[in-house]
Structure 1
Amino acid sequence: MSKHKVTADALRMRSSPNSDTNRNVIAVLSNGQLVEKIADSEPGWWVVRLLSGGDSSTTGFVASRFLQAVQPDAAPNAPSIAASVLASLVTAVHLQENRTSVTRKVETGRAYPLGEPSRPTRDRSSEAAAAASIHQIVDWLNVEQSARYAPNSTSTYCNIYAHDYCYLNGVYLPRIWWSGRALIELSNRVSVPVQYGQTVNELNANNLLRWFFEWGDDFGWRRVFDLNELQAEANRGKVCIICARNVNENRSGHICAVVPESNSQKATRNPDGSVKIPLQSQAGRVNKKYSSNSLWWLGATFVDFGYFVHE
């Protein structure tokens, strides 16, 4: 077995050696990602195992022409400042919380967390209680009717809904995040005030995927590569997310929650019971409290994606 690194900007890892469909894509590997070759497959395809940036047990098929051999003692790319220096210094950041004017019923204040005093939270006393309370949160957010998430002619609000969903579940997903200059100051242990447009900026779905890859581990997120695992974790009452980056940086990506199955709401499954399409809840061009009819992140619109579970 030998180590190789990805030379393409984005290389799709698949469950079978076939590029005629995207339904077999299990991950998109970034440039420089290290993998270990396990075996040859069909002509032009190798079976590889991830060596960094994911579960080391994750294996799949990749086009071998986009891999370059590295020396046996080669190490993964040096961790970024964020990973090596800032992880212990950077904390979750919000604009002012508990503003009672920020509600589901208004279109203003979307950069702020929901402030309604009656908002529900996740019951973590058991897996069953957590799953049931997640459905209560989805019902309360009422994405199909709430003005806060209603699309208009120029904008959709998948990131707002995903943030609110995580916020009520007691999980950090940034609505705003520190600017580059603020991160430098934090690395120098300087106290940084929260100032919109100066020290913090709003994140769209494209930037949320980057945040997951760079910061997710530090805030309790774990990347997974299997839809069965993703749906199973959601069914246990964990917070699960799918996020994808648009091929066009001037267009927004997309983000949605994967939610627990119930007696009335189910994932779409294959005849053998495996998950074909997970049960999702989202805002977007069409807002859907529940749906399981699209593998949207595998479309040509998106260049990269990830599945994430909060531990």
Structure 2
Amino acid sequence: MATYKVTANSLRLRSTPNSETHRNIIAVLSNGQLVEKIADSVPDWWEVRILQSGAAAATGFVAHRFLQAVQSAAVPSPPLVSNAFLASLVKPVHMTENRTSVVRNVITGRAYPLGEPNRPFRDRSTVPAASASIHNIVNWINVEQSDRYAPNSTSTYCNIYAHDYCYLNGAYLPRVWWSSRALIDLSNRIQVPVQYGQTVNELNANSLLRWFLEWGDDFGWKRVFDLNELQTEANRGKVCIISARNANENRSGHICAVVPENNLQKATRNADGSVKIPLQSQAGRVNKKYFNNSLWWLTPTFADFGYFVHE
């Protein structure tokens, strides 16, 4: 099959060849993204398959005028040094853990993980135990009432909530991440101390999507492209995240958790049982322990998004 690259700044991959609705958007392809043509569709549309590091990923439909043929010799070769080897030199980083002063009901220490002595963690012994313990974490964090996540006139704290949610669930999502200089030093096997504002910096919601796309695979995150799969994985007691980047880099992106369904909380489903809107939990302009009434990442506010799953 022929290989093409995206020539637009961004190109929406859709489940149907139709741009009159936003509900069919599967992913947003960046400039230079490689795809493989599967077949012609209706006029102006092709069915394509995303190519990620030489491996096939999601399939869908794109407007083919934004694609340019790529000669086989121009397709990038695998790097001489594997990404896995480079990632092995870059470890997860946190500000000091287990600080008992970092609690839900204070607004200081947001760069640090929660340190309350009796904080809950995910029980991964069985699927039911994992799902139940995720709800226990959501209820314990109590995002609607805890000062740590309360929005103010200038800031919202979706990134703090997502980090705390993942931390208690045993999935690494950075609150702070290595600086460019620190990453160079780490790749050269130089030990780097954790120094706020020098070797590590806080990540906002826009930066977190970039982190997922660049580093997520190396820290146990799998990108998926289907809401049914995302909700199913959450129902199996896995950690599931929706991350989106604002079209205006000076405005906040957003990130939220997709949580397991139970007898009290459900995703919104279509008549055939497929997921229409997943069951979500977030901090933001409005903090919500649970909600199932918004496909917020598909609105024009956001330039790119992704669904991510961690065991």
Normalising by structure 2, we get a TM-score of 0.97
d(CA) in 2 for partners of 1:121, 1:148: 19
Q: Cα distance, 1:72 vs. partner?
A: 2.9
CA deviation string 1:87-132 (max 9, x = no partner)? 1100000000000000000000000000000000000000110000
Q: Which residue of 2 aligns with 1:124?
A: 124
> For 1:192, what is the secondary structure of its paired residue?
coil
1:270 correspondence with 2:270: yes
Q: Which residue of 2 aligns with 1:147?
A: 147
What amino acid does structure 2 have at the position aligned with 1:83? N
What amino acid does structure 2 have at the position aligned with 1:297? W
d(CA) in 2 for partners of 1:256, 1:40: 36
Change (3 A) 1:80 1:144: farther
Q: Cα distance, 1:21 vs. partner?
A: 1.4
Q: Which residue of 2 aligns with 1:230?
A: 230
* Contact 2:120 2:168 (8 Å CA) reproduced: yes
* Contact 2:2 2:36 (8 Å CA) reproduced: yes
* Contact 2:84 2:218 (8 Å CA) reproduced: no
Q: Cα distance, 1:263 vs. partner?
A: 0.4
Deviates more, 1:33-42 or 1:66-75: 66-75
> For 1:49, what is the secondary structure of its paired residue?
strand
d(CA) in 2 for partners of 1:31, 1:248: 17
Gaps of 5+ in 2: none
Change (3 A) 1:53 1:253: farther
Deviates more, 1:132-141 or 1:78-87: 78-87
CA deviation string 1:138-163 (max 9, x = no partner)? 00000000000000000000000000
Q: Which residue of 1 aligns with 2:163?
A: 163
Task: For 1:166-181, list aligned pairs within 5 A.
Answer: 166-181=166-181
Q: Cα distance, 1:81 vs. partner?
A: 8.7
Q: Which residue of 2 aligns with 1:215?
A: 215
What amino acid does structure 2 have at the position aligned with 1:130? A
CA deviation string 1:234-286 (max 9, x = no partner)? 00000000000000111110000000001010000000000000000000000
> For 1:58, what is the secondary structure of its paired residue?
strand
> For 1:240, what is the secondary structure of its paired residue?
strand
Q: Which residue of 1 aligns with 2:49?
A: 49
Deviates more, 1:223-232 or 1:66-75: 66-75
> For 2:56, what is the secondary structure of its paired residue?
coil
> For 1:62, what is the secondary structure of its paired residue?
strand
Normalising by structure 1, we get a TM-score of 0.97
d(CA) in 2 for partners of 1:55, 1:18: 26
Deviates more, 1:48-57 or 1:243-252: 48-57
Q: Which residue of 2 aligns with 1:21?
A: 21
d(CA) in 2 for partners of 1:108, 1:81: 41
Q: Cα distance, 1:30 vs. partner?
A: 1.2
* Contact 2:127 2:236 (8 Å CA) reproduced: yes
Instruction: Number of aligned residue pairs: give it.
Output: 311
d(CA) in 2 for partners of 1:79, 1:276: 39
Q: Which residue of 1 aligns with 2:109?
A: 109
d(CA) in 2 for partners of 1:80, 1:104: 46
Q: Which residue of 2 aligns with 1:292?
A: 292
d(CA) in 1 for partners of 2:9, 2:77: 15
CA deviation string 1:197-217 (max 9, x = no partner)? 000000001000000000000
* Contact 1:209 1:244 (8 Å CA) reproduced: yes
Deviates more, 1:137-146 or 1:75-84: 75-84
Change (3 A) 1:147 1:112: same
Q: Cα distance, 1:84 vs. partner?
A: 6.5
CA deviation string 1:24-47 (max 9, x = no partner)? 000111111111101111111000
Q: Which residue of 2 aligns with 1:7?
A: 7
Q: Cα distance, 1:54 vs. partner?
A: 9.6
What amino acid does structure 1 have at the position aligned with 2:22? N
* Contact 1:52 1:76 (8 Å CA) reproduced: no
Change (3 A) 1:302 1:65: same
Q: Cα distance, 1:75 vs. partner?
A: 2.6
d(CA) in 1 for partners of 2:129, 2:79: 39
> For 1:51, what is the secondary structure of its paired residue?
strand
